Amino acid sequence: MKYNKSKPIFSSYQKNSNLFDEIFDENENVRPTYKKILELYSDHSIQDFASLNEKAKASFFNQGITFQVYSDKKAQEKIFPFDLFPRIIEAKEWDTIEKGVIQRSKALNLFLWDVYHDKNIIKEGIVPIDLINTSANYLHQMEGFDPPGGIYNHISGTDLIKHSDGKYYVLEDNIRCPSGVSYVICNRNALKRALFGVFNHYEIHTVTDYAENLLEMLESVKPKGVDSPNCVVITPGVYNSAYYEHCYLAKSSGIELVEGRDLFVENDFVYMKTINGPEKVDVIYRRIDDLFIDPLEFRKDSVLGVPGLFAAYKRGNVTLVNAPGTGVADDKAIYTYMPQIIKYYLNEEPILNNVHTYHCSKPEDLKYILENVDKLVIKPVDEAGGYGISIGNRLTKEEIEKVKKAIKENPRKYIAQPIMSLSVHATYIDETSSFEQRHVDLRTYTLLGQDKEFVLKGGLTRVALQKGNLIVNSSQGGGSKDTWVLKK
């Protein structure tokens, strides 16, 4: 009955039964979590929605919550598209996610400590040495160094998807400079402004407590001998695509936003140049990649960094968040060992699923892979950025033979994973002025400090706005949704 009532808005909603729809179950009934909101939304017509959508877009634009797109030498400002239909996650479901991402972050932290100290996990043959020493993100300079509080990956962004079996799988752990958290808060604000009426029907966890937890975490990893640490955020500058986020983080935590040229090092301490002279800096949340933080130690041509910063760090006079060298633990090859890594350090079973990985170097896996190329994604282990990936069901017969040949020639070079099907969510599409199914994923944000752990109860639901597209990245035309975590 209720489904009929919601017809004006969902009248042209087409359901592909092969996909897991977060709102409608396989019998086309509205899932219990979404019943109320659909009922409320049914008061709106599609025109109402179109106009709210326009207003929300204008609000993002006016607030300058934008990123730059460069084409034909001209910079254009674009908003990160935002969808007015929220994604809702039940308390119980969230509980698993939260425990799972904390478990992963902790395990990765212990893994990093081990890799930069005794390397036991490698000596015991659980993770192959090649994965470490061939990684461009492994920093020899970090060997034997104890980061303050013993923390490497203070901030982790974990990318999860819901597969057609209705279970969450982790796709990637981002522990260098995961971005996007500011959009979580912006999305919530925008949705509150547009559809305030629906909020009092759901008990939703707030997302505005991220900043205070971030600051608490930063303070918890202060250098030895500092009472009340001076924390800053360092940004590459106003032209960086994530500059809005850097501002947001500094502003909401009440700390200074600096650029490399605002800082200098003297006697291995870091200072910022203020109108009243130098002021010591103790903790730096850096949004600059490892190789750019200090031109005297890493890339000489970096103008973003601070000469001498790394020496100050190694002397223990300043803390860098995240620690340099964390990148070694977030590449594809390490990902495939996550279940073993969790087991090794925590003696626990992984709470969240990894996407199963077949190693072409193992004979039994190889046999399966060669027989099932059309059902698998084949990835080279050492390429980054999506290069060289073959998606089995999109290949022609000849292409499949080519892939098989390449694997047989160099089995060590490839891994294979089942083709994951991202769940779909009702998303308002401008072009057709209607709701349509679009693939979504979820990025969660975890903070690890000394005696501190925190997961933002929300996260960024990213939407692939192009029909059928599985890539949710913002540079590839992705949007996002407000993500509600229910209190009960």
Partner 1 sequence: MLARVANDLFWMGRYIERAEHTARYLNVNYFSSLDAPNKLSQSRTFVLNSMYALVDNRVENTSELKENEVLYDIALNPEKTYSIIKCIKSARENANSSRDLISTEFYESINKFYHFVISYPKETFVKNGLFDFTTTVTEHTAILRAKIRGTILHDEVYALIMLGMNIERATQITRIIKTKFDDAERATGGYTNPFKNSYEWTTLLKCAESYDMMRRFYRKTPTQLITLEFLLLNPNCPRSVTNSLNQSYKHISQLDSLKLHNINSSSFLIGKMRSEYEFKTIEEVQKNVREFIEDTLNKLIKISIKLEEEYFNY
Partner 2 sequence: MSLHYRIKYKSKNTYENPVSEAYWQFLVTPENNETQEVLYSNFRTTVDARIENSINGYNFETTRIHCKKPFDKICFEAEFRLHKKDINPFGFSPIFNNLLDYNLTENHSFKVEFDNFLKHTELTKLPENIKTIHKFNKEFTVFENLNNLNNWVYNYLQFKIGVTKVNTLLKEIVVSKQGVCQDFSHLFCAISRENNIPARYVSGYLHQGNGYFGDSQMHAWVEAFLPNIGWIGFDPTNNILVNHNHIKVCHGKDYNDCPPIKGIIYASGKNETTHSVEVSQQQ
Q: Which residues bind partner 1 (CB under 8 A)?
A: 61-64, 237-238, 243-244, 247, 250-251, 256-259, 261-262, 272-276
Q: Is 50 in the site for partner 2 (CB under 8 A)?
A: no
- Judged by DSSP in three states, 150 sits in helix
**Structural contact between residues 238 and 264, judged by C-beta atoms closer than 8 angstroms:** no
Q: Is 122 in the site for partner 2 (CB under 8 A)?
A: yes
- Dist. CA 235–CA 215, nearest whole Å: 17
| Residues whose CB falls within 8 Å of the CB of residue 208, separated by 6 or more in sequence, listed in order | 185, 188
CB-wise, 148 or 295, nearer to partner 2? 295
CB-wise, 127 or 233, nearer to partner 1? 233
Q: Binding string to partner 2 for residues 141 to 160, with x set by CB under 8 A, is what?
A: x-x-----------------
Q: Is 39 in the site for partner 2 (CB under 8 A)?
A: no
Q: Is 205 in the site for partner 2 (CB under 8 A)?
A: no
Chosen from partner 2, partner 1, none, partner binding at 62 (C-beta under 5 to 8 Å by type): partner 1
Would you state the structure tokens that stand for residue 418, as one six-digit string? 């089942």
Q: Is 300 in the site for partner 2 (CB under 8 A)?
A: yes
The C-alpha torsion from 356 through 105 and 144 to 118, rounded to 10°, is -50
Helices 91-115, 338-346: crossing angle, 10 deg rounding: 80
Provide the residue type at 435 as one letter.
F
Q: Is 314 in the site for partner 2 (CB under 8 A)?
A: yes
**CB of 61 vs partner 1, minimal distance in Å:** 7
Which position among 140, 224, 397, 488 is part of the footprint of partner 2 (CB under 8 A)? Answer: 140
Chosen from partner 2, partner 1, none, partner binding at 71 (C-beta under 5 to 8 Å by type): none
- Dist. CA 97–CA 351, nearest whole Å: 8
Count of residues touching partner 2 (by CB under 8 A): 25
Beta pairing class for 460-464 and 434-449: antiparallel
Query: What backbone torsions phi and psi does residue 85 show, to the nearest 5 degrees?
Result: -95, 115
CB-wise, 58 or 389, nearer to partner 1? 58
Q: Is 77 in the site for partner 2 (CB under 8 A)?
A: no
**Structural contact between residues 51 and 45, judged by C-beta atoms closer than 8 angstroms:** no
**CB of 79 vs partner 1, minimal distance in Å:** 12
Beta bridge partners of 264: 271
**Structural contact between residues 449 and 151, judged by C-beta atoms closer than 8 angstroms:** yes
Which positions from 315 through 334 interact with partner 2, judged by CB under 8 A? Answer: 315
Of 28-36, 66-74, 309-317, 367-375, the segment contacting partner 2 by CB under 8 A is: 309-317
**What are the start-end ranges of the H helices in 195-304?**
196-199, 210-220, 243-253
- Dist. CA 187–CA 177, nearest whole Å: 21
The residues of the shown chain that bind partner 2, judged by CB under 8 A, are 119, 122-123, 125, 129, 132-133, 139-141, 143, 264, 266-268, 295-297, 300, 307-308, 310-311, 314-315
